[in-house]
Chains A and B, each alone.
Chain A
Amino acid sequence: MSKRKNKPTTDSRAPAPPKGLVSARDLHKTYRMGAVSLEVLRGVSFDVQAGEFITIYGHSGSGKSTLLHLLGLLDEPTNGSVFLEQDDTSTFSRRRRNAIRNRDVGFVFQFYYLLPELSVLENTLLPAMVEHSTLAWRGKKKELRRRAEEILVELGLGDRMKHRPKELSGGERQRTAIARALVNQPKLLLADEPTGNLDSKTGQKIIDVLVRLNREHKQTILMVTHDEELAHQLGRSLYLKDGRLAKT
């Protein structure tokens, strides 16, 4: 992967100062495959306010997932910066980025990415396990377990806690993935095409869950989808085309 270079944006106007929970400022991402360079993001800037439900939509290959990965600190931009509560994350150490991914950001993936060896409850608890050392875990185990169980019950998985992922339907798997993303009570929930692998009815249920989380718990959500109609039904939507935000 190419190393990020923090050079000033080419835009003649000075970038607006970051405001809100998460801000993208002039994000560029270029992938190099041998001699060929593929510029996926070409200067994306926007802010996400706490409690918002933002949908980014666009065609396949428009850079939606790449943008999500940059915002979630899973990847580093070639140029530009991601600000978390006005702090420039490009200055963060690897350890701090790991800690932010663990505590402040929750991920929901299109293909769920549950660990097949673990039960629903164990998958849900995994981020909490990552956060705590073995010693600390012993003291907090009961509390964390209760929290995970509450989330699972709220997501309608109360009777599935001991099941393995292979014993669940697609919708149940995705709800488990949402539960996992929520267990550490993140400030930001990032969802990458969460309904992309589900039939429309099940997909709608997942959307309902996310909407409910946003409305009832003020959970900040940034979701990526290729479904324009769906994007318009939800809160603020951003259209990503050829690596740029076309309209907001």
Chain B
Amino acid sequence: MYKLFLCLRYLRSKVFAYFGMLCVALSVCLMLIAVSVFTGFLNKIETAAKGLFGDIVIEPAGERGFAYYDEFITEMKQKIPEVEDADPFILSMGILSIEAEKEFRQVVQIAGIRLPSRARVTDFEQGLFVQEGGENPTFDVPLSRAIERLNEYQAFLRKIIEREFAPQLATMTPEERIACFEGAGRLYLLYREELPDDRKYLLDQLSGAYRNLVSARTRLKLAQHGDKELTALREELRKLEERGASADEKLDVEDAIREKEKLTGVQPARKRVILGLGIPGTTFRTDQGETGRYLLPGDNIFLHFVPLGERFTSVEGVPSRIAKFTIIDDSFSGVHSIDSKMVYVPFDTFQTLNNMGDIVSEDGGVVTPKRCSQIHIKVRGENLTEPELRRARDKVWNLWLEFRQRYPDAATRDVDIDTWRQRQAHLIVPLENQRTLVIIVIAVIWIVVVVLVFVIFYTIVTQKTREIGVIKAIGGGGWGVAGIFLGYGAVVGLIGSVFGVLGGWAFVRNINVIQDWVAKTFGYRVWSREQFMFDLIPDQVDWHAAIFIVASSILAGLIGALLPAIRAARMQPVEALRYE
């Protein structure tokens, strides 16, 4: 009984013990932050890579692409049980401009994707704004759903305004406040000039976002009303095309559709895009780490691109193309290099616009079949290891060798078939090396904790020599006395690590807010989104690591206390009592 009792009592009354706990807490906190951030990085790469490319990627060298992709996908699904699904993909460079902002230009990557089949191969459906949580994403989103999300976004902007401009709002009449929330315009007119520069900047961003929101929503509402007529006209055109009507016969209907589309300004499903959330100039961030959008579902954009020439290469003399699209959703993967560049376009639309569709001879025969840039494959099963994926990859490769015999013009040059890890090796290997380095640093920190606990306990045991003599004089055994100090060490390790985990958890969860605060207060940004490729620092605690760190900290406390405890155990009671 006395071991537990004295251990707890010493804990309460020894400042040294608190220092020990502080050391353990700080080191645990540091370890947890470092491990969580690095694990977060690696997880993000995995999520992003799989989210965009699936488990395995087939990519032909050069720009000629991959023909007979649907045939190959069908064969893979039939002959390789590991292949759950696969989907074609087209990737090309382009320039994004905005209908409302003539000066805006941004280089982007245009990805032609099939929806909803893409969601069966990658995690594309995760991180969508309008179709949040939906399992079957589409370019043909019900406009009512988009309007609903814009209303929610308005509430979000309103919350920011209420928080950031509370003093100004307090001086307004209720009517002025309502007017303000309709577009932040009132706030803008009344107070902009009085505000300091950083607030002025935020107000400009919020009013800009508000204005765009109102116009995008109006466009969607108009389109919603005109949608029925448009749908009827499109149906009529489809029927005409089905029965092979002449261009003249279709002209009237096409004109009527064009007029309606012009009126509403919202493009049909085949001309809609999903925008990466993070394309420079289309978003802004508040000090609290919230992301605001300038470009919203309902806004129109132009994509400029240079299509492949008839001989499959981008050559001089091929005129660039411009096509108008309506944004219908946006996608956030968390990887800055993806979110800041990607624009997702319907696969068939982009295939045609990029000259990758069937090339037909004058007599109607297909000269060159339609092509895609890559095929993305989902392998059956969850949390597959790299060797498992490589086994599936080898089967795909063998099938490809066989397929090539039957379709010699499927790809004119070599084809690469890689797992997601092989494709991302350039990112993963340096990160894993850095993580190894961090683990070495952590091991050194751990040794420092052991030494610190040792010094603290050695001092405590020295100070308590005479008390140890008393405990032994009244019958306390050597192991009993050692138990007091070992228990003491374990409790220092446990309490220190619990506080360390709490501190580390609070820090990791708020790491982006802390960074924004540091950037704002000291003008120094530790984390550059451009440099570190991720939009945000990973903020999820690695609980497996936390359990390991707590266990190792208790062990550190025990090891640090072991020698002093043995010293206490071996003391002769008479010598201990005589100790001066």
Binding site for B on A (CB under 8 A): 1, 69, 72, 74-75, 94-95, 98-103, 107, 109, 113, 115, 117-118, 122, 126-127, 129-134, 136-137, 180
Contacts and interface: CB of A to CB of B under 8 A. Distances in A.
Interface centre among A102, A109, A129, A131 (most CB of B within 10 A): A129
A130 B1 CA distance: 6
A78 B415 CA distance: 90
Interface stretch (B179-187, B463-471, B509-517): B463-471
Nearest to B470: A113
A2 to B, nearest CB: 12
B4 A134 contact: yes
Given A101-B472, A117-B9, 19 more contacts: A72-B473, A74-B574, A94-B478, A95-B477, A98-B472, A98-B475, A98-B476, A98-B477, A100-B475, A102-B476, A107-B473, A113-B470, A115-B6, A115-B470, A117-B13, A130-B2, A130-B471, A131-B475, A132-B1
Secondary structure at the B interface, as helix, strand, loop or mixed, is helix
Nearest to B14: A117
Nearest to B469: A113
A153 B9 CA distance: 25
A98 B569 CA distance: 13
Interface in B563-578: 572-575, 577
Nearest to A181: B474
B276 to A, nearest CB: 62
B5 interface: yes
B302 interface: no
Nearest to A69: B574
Interface of B: 1-2, 4-6, 9-10, 12-13, 466-467, 469-478, 480, 572-575, 577
Contacts of B4: 134
A74 B473 contact: yes
B574 A101 contact: no
Contacts of A137: 1
A113 B2 contact: no
B475 A99 contact: yes
A101 B473 contact: yes
Contacts of B6: 115, 117
Nearest to B3: A134
Secondary structure at the A interface, as helix, strand, loop or mixed, is helix
Contacts of A1: 572, 575
B13 A127 contact: no
Q: Nearest 9 A-B pairs (CB), nearest first? A: A102-B475, A129-B2, A137-B1, A129-B1, A127-B474, A101-B475, A113-B470, A75-B574, A117-B13
A46 to B, nearest CB: 21
A99 B477 CA distance: 9
B387 to A, nearest CB: 51
B475 A127 contact: yes
A41 to B, nearest CB: 13
Given A103-B475, A117-B9, A117-B13, A126 B577 contact: no
20 contacts: A75-B574, A94-B477, A98-B475, A99-B475, A101-B475, A102-B475, A103-B475, A107-B473, A113-B467, A115-B6, A117-B10, A117-B12, A126-B471, A127-B474, A129-B5, A130-B480, A133-B1, A134-B4, A136-B1, A180-B474
Nearest to A131: B475
B577 A113 contact: yes
B474 A118 contact: no
A74 B475 CA distance: 9
A130 B476 contact: yes
A13 to B, nearest CB: 31
Nearest to B9: A117
A129 to B, nearest CB: 4
Contacts, number: 72
B9 A101 contact: no
A69 B5 CA distance: 27
Contacts of A133: 1
A126 B4 CA distance: 12
Given A117-B10, A118-B9, A134 B1 contact: yes
A60 to B, nearest CB: 15
A38 to B, nearest CB: 14
A190 B477 CA distance: 20
Interface centre among A102, A117, A180 (most CB of B within 10 A): A117
B490 to A, nearest CB: 15
Contacts of A107: 473-474
A75 B572 CA distance: 8
A21 B572 CA distance: 25
Contacts of A129: 1-2, 5
Contacts of B2: 126, 129-130
A72 B12 CA distance: 32
B477 A126 contact: no
Contacts of B572: 1, 75
A201 to B, nearest CB: 27
Contacts of B476: 98, 102, 130
Contacts of A130: 1-2, 471, 474-476, 480
Contacts of B472: 74, 98, 101
Nearest to A138: B1
Nearest to A70: B574
A69 B472 CA distance: 12
A117 B484 CA distance: 14
B18 to A, nearest CB: 15
B570 to A, nearest CB: 12
A89 B467 CA distance: 25
A15 B424 CA distance: 91
Contacts of B467: 113, 115
Contacts of A75: 572-574
A230 to B, nearest CB: 23
A126 B469 CA distance: 13
Contacts of A69: 574
Nearest to B5: A129
Nearest to A134: B1
Contacts of B473: 72, 74, 101, 107, 113
A75 B2 CA distance: 23
B474 A102 contact: yes
Nearest to A113: B470
Nearest to A104: B475
Contacts of A113: 466-467, 469-470, 473, 577
Nearest to B480: A130
A134 B572 CA distance: 25
Contacts of A118: 9
B474 A126 contact: yes
Interface centre among B4, B476, B478 (most CB of A within 10 A): B476
A107 B470 CA distance: 9
A203 B4 CA distance: 35
B481 to A, nearest CB: 10
A97 B21 CA distance: 37
A4 B5 CA distance: 35
A130 B478 CA distance: 12
Interface centre among A69, A72, A113, A130 (most CB of B within 10 A): A130
Nearest to B473: A107
